[in-house]
A and B are shown apart, each in its own frame.
Chain A
């Protein structure tokens, strides 16, 4: 019963997501093969659905990987500086190589994100007496320093105003032809699933992992690369969406435990479902305009995060 509940819910949300939008679209129009309806579907609705699902899956899996590497349940791209580093990377790309296309900018974002998360992991490992909340606190501070650097840089190049606009997560720009980078998340998901066992072992700490014959450093770096690719791909196509990677794995772990092999598919589905729900909400709130998903997911995720903090660290 509960096994089928989640996939059903997900499918339902996908269906609703296809139906809702600025222009009315009915299934009857589709069935009668109206060209307009088909165009809306293939050029805008389907790409958007794909981007939403992939982003949701990717971000929540990123959260899981980071949580295993840092061994802290409150770590995710937004609380380890990765998200802010990716933004900074795009900004630098825009000023250093104004001609670079989306791919070039993504490479910058990727490199910055990877370096920033490596530095973060190094800092956290140097601190001997950490606790559950100190680690994300340091990550948030680190992120705000990175974004202060980004603002400094943007202000000098007069792109501060526009930067704030386009770095906010927003799926309304997703149309056929400018979102395909997001498909990079697919192989990442597959790789993560294949390596799930290793990431679980990684989460037991360096000593345990090594004694179980795992190359700790290599696995951790692989994990960070997977995260960097996902984060940069989502930031470049839809913008920053905080807290999804944090909230979803935590809520799933509450109900299903932490064996990754078993919970990864559930985490992935829940991530997609959460983003779809937030997106539908954003499209309905001030219809026919829409609220960027960075705001809806940010609010929902942030409030859930607050609840988790209040509840989990009693």
Chain B
């Protein structure tokens, strides 16, 4: 029932987003909005898939790539890039070049994390969480430090990267990202049953005949690609992944990835659309998507932490 309502809500949100206050201007306003819609869909899918898969691999419902430092590393990397090369060279590198470099970096970080998760096993969740939160703060401090050394123009570009926004995505970038994410999504869709087995934990997965190490490496690589795409497309989203994944679990009433993954995508896209609609029509641009998402998802995460009362 709830699930059906969620699915019906999505088209309604899409239509509202495209048409509300557009004056049905099919030449300018609506094409512009279509690009933004594209960015929202691609980023929403990235955040949903990466968060749910990461939680399956980590064996808990609180850790997400964003919390474990992926976004912090991405932003630090962008700052370093601008500092070394200057905005001119970064522009010459092109969005694609930058995206490829970022992806390589995310893959490297994924590889490190995966080695660590493999070795530590499903250790104390809260310890990992605290590590992730503090690491993100420290990385943020380093980023700020590097920003100090850049010129004012570069500074403002870097600063804008630190916020969730659907306005900076270019049509070409949305297209390329969309194709890439579609390819990843096909891989994920074909592996939902493997993910179900991975959710039982390392030992049970091996006992059921999975090459656990190889599966983990593959999934972590997919996560890296997804995070790189979403962060370069719409910016960091911090706690949104936790919110999206947990709402999806609650709606799904089943832990099977065939059910949870699509639902999570719908929740993420719906959340983005709703935030954008609120910013445009309720707050009249007197707040931003980034702030709304941070506020709602942060509060949700806090409530989740307090409610679990120390039992993961």
Enumerate chain A interface residues (CB-CB to B < 8 A).
Answer: 74, 123, 126-131, 133-134, 136-138, 140-142, 144-145, 148-149, 151-152, 155-156, 168, 242, 286, 289, 291-292, 294-295, 298-299, 302-303, 305-306, 309-310, 313
Contact = CB atoms under 8 A, between A and B. Distances in A.
Given A126-B306, A127-B306, A302-B134, 20 more contacts: A74-B130, A131-B310, A133-B124, A134-B305, A134-B310, A137-B305, A138-B302, A138-B306, A140-B130, A140-B134, A145-B302, A148-B291, A148-B294, A151-B291, A152-B291, A168-B144, A298-B138, A306-B131, A309-B130, A309-B131
Interface in B116-167: 124, 126-127, 129-131, 133-135, 137-138, 141-142, 144-145, 148-149
A281 to B, nearest CB: 12
Nearest to B62: A137
A221 B141 CA distance: 32
A140 B286 CA distance: 26
A84 B306 CA distance: 19
A145 B299 contact: yes
Contacts of B292: 152
A278 to B, nearest CB: 12
Contacts of B301: 141
Contacts of A156: 286-287
A155 B311 CA distance: 37
Contacts of A149: 295
B14 to A, nearest CB: 26
A71 to B, nearest CB: 14
B308 to A, nearest CB: 9
Interface of B: 124, 126-127, 129-131, 133-135, 137-138, 141-142, 144-145, 148-149, 238-239, 286-288, 291-292, 294-295, 298-299, 301-302, 305-306, 309-311
User: Would you call the interface of chain A mostly helix, strand, loop, or mixed?
Assistant: helix
22 contacts: A74-B130, A128-B310, A129-B311, A130-B310, A131-B124, A131-B126, A133-B126, A137-B126, A137-B129, A137-B130, A140-B134, A140-B137, A148-B291, A148-B294, A152-B291, A155-B287, A155-B288, A242-B137, A289-B148, A299-B138, A302-B134, A302-B137
B291 A313 contact: no
Contacts of B127: 133, 309, 313
A145 B134 contact: no
Contacts of A303: 138
Nearest to A285: B145
A152 B287 contact: yes
Contacts of A74: 130
A255 B134 CA distance: 24
Contacts of A155: 286-288, 291
A299 B133 CA distance: 14
Nearest to B295: A148
A130 B294 CA distance: 25
B134 A305 contact: yes
B171 to A, nearest CB: 28
Nearest to B143: A295
B141 A133 contact: no
A295 B137 contact: no
Contacts of A295: 141, 144-145, 148
B298 A148 contact: yes
B237 to A, nearest CB: 13
A212 to B, nearest CB: 27
Nearest to B290: A151
Contacts of A294: 141
B131 A310 contact: yes
Contact of A302 (B141, B149, B298): B141
Given A129-B311, A148-B295, A306-B138, A313 B145 contact: no
Nearest to B296: A148
Contacts of A127: 306, 309-310
**Which of B130, B131, B148, B301 has the most chain A CB within a 10 Å cutoff?**
B130
B302 A141 contact: yes
B130 A129 contact: no
B124 A299 contact: no
B126 A286 contact: no
A126 B308 CA distance: 12
Contact of B309 (A128, A140, A145, A286): A128
Contacts of B238: 144
B137 A298 contact: yes
A157 to B, nearest CB: 9
Nearest to B299: A145
Contacts of A123: 306
Q: Which 4 A-B pairs have the closest CB atoms?
A: A129-B310, A302-B138, A133-B126, A148-B295
A144 B294 contact: yes
A306 B305 contact: no
A131 B309 CA distance: 10
A136 B148 CA distance: 29
Nearest to B135: A306
A144 B298 contact: yes
A310 B148 CA distance: 30
Contacts of A134: 126, 305, 310
A206 B19 CA distance: 60
Nearest to A126: B306
Contact of B295 (A133, A138, A141, A145): A145
A299 B287 contact: no
Given A123-B306, A302-B138, A136 B298 contact: no
Nearest to A296: B145
Given A298-B141, A306-B138, A137 B298 contact: no
B247 to A, nearest CB: 17
A286 B149 contact: yes
